[in-house]
Amino acid sequence: MKVTANHGKWQVASGDLQLTTRHLRLATCCLLLATALAGCSSAPPPPDWKMNAVSLIEHFQTRWLEGDSKTADLALDKARDEIAKTGRLDLLARAELAACGTRAAALDFTACGGYEKLANEAAGNDIAYARFLTGDWQGLDAKSLPKHYAELASAKDNAAANRAVGEIKEPLPRLIAAALLFKTSRAEPATLASAVDTASERGWRRPLLAWLNVQLKRAQAAGDSSAVAHLQRRIDLITGTTPAGK
């Protein structure tokens, strides 16, 4: 069975795992129509543990980004249990990386302890992605990373790196990429604004608060009282300090 990575997303397709609702819907469609329409797929349907792991990791990502840590942690633990059924330590390492990448999107750069315990079991591309998440890009082969990070990892200067972040289409990878530029003190104001807009549009409360607080600190340092007041109002609305409509 071949398993490929995509910044922590997993695909379900006749043996591959990558967390994306589009593939889940396609797989479900094929299963429902298999008895009515010929030729949907010659491959057997994915086993239950794969479908369950995909769904649970996706649930973890959504709930964590929304700020529901309790539900998110429960989903991640259940995903680990599903993967444990296979005895595949490399897949478990990948799941831990998916969780760490999600946390990085909200500027949480705590050590990826779950992955570190399994690092010796990780596949080559996952080892590269783990290095990418730490900001250790020197000598890193961009081809070993998911495609949406390739231009960022190979950017020649900060301007090119920030442009590369802005060109990432998927919201979670865009936030992760922006976070890694911020971690290495290379994020430009436009990248910070893009991260705020991305989290806001998705309703991802946790990263939105993190990025708004970055903007707030910069506005305070610049003495921009108007921006400070505006950003503080947004933060108060999200945290409930100022209830909606008040």
pLDDT of residue 41: 52
Last residue in a domain, options 87, 119, 134 = 134
**Amino acid, single-letter form, for residue 196:** V
Average pLDDT of each block of 10 consecutive residues along the chain (246 residues)?
A: 48 42 41 42 80 95 97 97 97 96 96 95 94 90 90 93 96 97 96 98 98 98 98 96 68
Whether residues 143 and 129 fall in one domain: no
Residues 25 and 130 in one domain: yes
pLDDT of residue 43: 73
Tell me the DSSP string of 190-228.
HHHHHHHHHHHHHT-HHHHHHHHHHHHHHHHHHT-HHHH
Residue 42's pLDDT is 63
What's the pTM?
A: 0.82
Single out the residue in 89, 106, 134 at which a domain terminates.
Answer: 134
Question: Distance between alpha carbon 142 and the CA centroid of its chain, in Å?
Answer: 18
Q: How far is it, in rounded angstroms, from Cα 74 to Cα 136?
A: 31
Count of Cβ atoms closer than 10 Å to residue 209 Cβ: 18
* Res 63: pLDDT: 97
Residue 97 shares a structural domain with residue 190: no
Give the integer Cα–Cα distance in Å for 93 and 87. Answer: 12
| Boundary-marking domain end, from 98, 117, 134 | 134
pLDDT at 243: 66
One-character DSSP codes across 63-105: HHHHT-HHHHHHHHHHHHHHHHTTT-HHHHHHHHHHHHHHHHT
* Plot region of 160 (φ>0 → left; ψ -120 to 50 → alpha; else → beta): alpha
